[in-house]
Amino acid sequence: MAVTIKTAEEINKMRIAGRLAADVLDMIGEHVKIGVSTEELDTICHDYIVNAQQAIPAPLNYHGFPKSICTSVNHQVCHGIPGGKKLKNGDIINIDITVIKDGFHGDTSRMFIVGEGSILTRRLIDITRQAMWKGIEMVKPGVHIGDIGHAIQTLVESSGYSVVREYCGHGIGREFHEDPQILHYGTPGNGLTLQAGMCFTIEPMVNAGKRQIKLLPDKWTVVTKDRKPSAQWEHTLAVTEDGFEVFTLGAEERS
């Protein structure tokens, strides 16, 4: 599929969808606590998206995904399926929200700590967030996709962590996953040149241990092979004439 360049009108719809996805994460934060199950978090998000936002939870039935959000706990890297297991003190969880509003997608994820996090998990979460922002701050017309990946990879590896290579950021718009692929590792100057109007996600998955992963028999949940924890943050953004615009900033990031 070709890379689409969004018109001003389409960018505005992306802005609205992105804001709604961020609002879901702002809403769910207070529910992430000891004893809650990821299935309960899914239900709360589903109802909020469908009823309060009058939007569509994009993951539900996407290539057969059975729930409305992805919840990836501890050594789960991404695409965790909400279930009956309850969160316990010290767990870390990525909640990944994608909504469709007026035909356009907004896709964003954050890490939450349940109760008290360890020094290691707090640092992992922090470095991963910094890595996402390093990637975002590279974005402007003329920059190559490899420049984004290189910035992310450099910070992650110099911190002693590893970048997952099998999953990447993606173009986004009328489709959930469009071209181009945004790799979270790379070589400066390599890959597609960015142009104003392109919209994509940056969503690095960072492992505390080795980068190798495996897929669970449910065919969705991705876990680290060494069972060490993994973190991920995700924003949806556009390339503007002189830089970038992030559509999925949360209330805290907007203030």
Stretch that binds ligand MF3, among 17-25, 56-64, 83-91, 181-189 (CB under 6 A): 56-64
- Residue 48's identity, in one-letter code, is Y
Please report, in angstroms and rounded to a whole number, the separation of the first and last CA atoms in the chain: 37
Q: Is 31 annotated as a binding residue?
A: no
HSE toward the beta carbon, residue 137, CA cutoff 13 A:
8
How far is 214 from 76, CA to CA, in rounded Å? 10
Q: Say which residues have a Cβ less than 8 Å from residue 165's Cβ, sequence separation at least 6.
A: 183, 184, 185, 211
- Residue 106's identity, in one-letter code, is G
Q: Does 96 bind Co ion (CB under 5 A)?
A: yes
> Where is 157: in which H helix or E strand?
helix 145-158
Our CB check for ligand MF3 shows the closer of 72 and 224 to be 72
Stretch that binds Co ion, among 2-10, 74-82, 199-207, 216-224 (CB under 5 A): 199-207
Sign of CA dihedral 209, 213, 219, 220: positive
Measured from the Cβ of residue 97, the count of other Cβ atoms closer than 10 Å reads 28
Our CB check for ligand MF3 shows the closer of 196 and 249 to be 249
Stretch that binds ligand MF3, among 13-21, 55-63, 156-164, 243-251 (CB under 6 A): 55-63
Our CB check for ligand MF3 shows the closer of 59 and 250 to be 59
Q: How many residues at the interface with ligand MF3, by CB under 6 A?
A: 13
Contact criterion met (CB below 8 Å) for 98 and 49: no
DSSP annotation of 138 = T
Measured from the Cβ of residue 239, the count of other Cβ atoms closer than 10 Å reads 22
Our CB check for Co ion shows the closer of 97 and 151 to be 97
Q: Does 136 bind ligand MF3 (CB under 6 A)?
A: no
What character string, x for contact with ligand MF3 (CB under 6 A) and - otherwise, covers 67-96?
Answer: ---x--------x----------------x
Stretch that binds ligand MF3, among 61-69, 113-121, 189-197, 209-217 (CB under 6 A): 61-69
> Which residue's CB atom is positioned nearest to ligand MF3?
59
DSSP annotation of 63 = G
Our CB check for Co ion shows the closer of 201 and 224 to be 201
* One residue of 29, 56, 65, 130 binding ligand MF3 per CB under 6 A: 65
Pairing mode, strands 162-163 and 205-207? antiparallel
Site residues, ligand MF3 (CB under 6 A): 59, 62-63, 65, 70, 79, 96, 98, 107, 201, 203, 220, 234
Site residues, Co ion (CB under 5 A): 96, 107, 201, 234
Q: Which residues are annotated as a binding site for substrate?
A: 79, 177
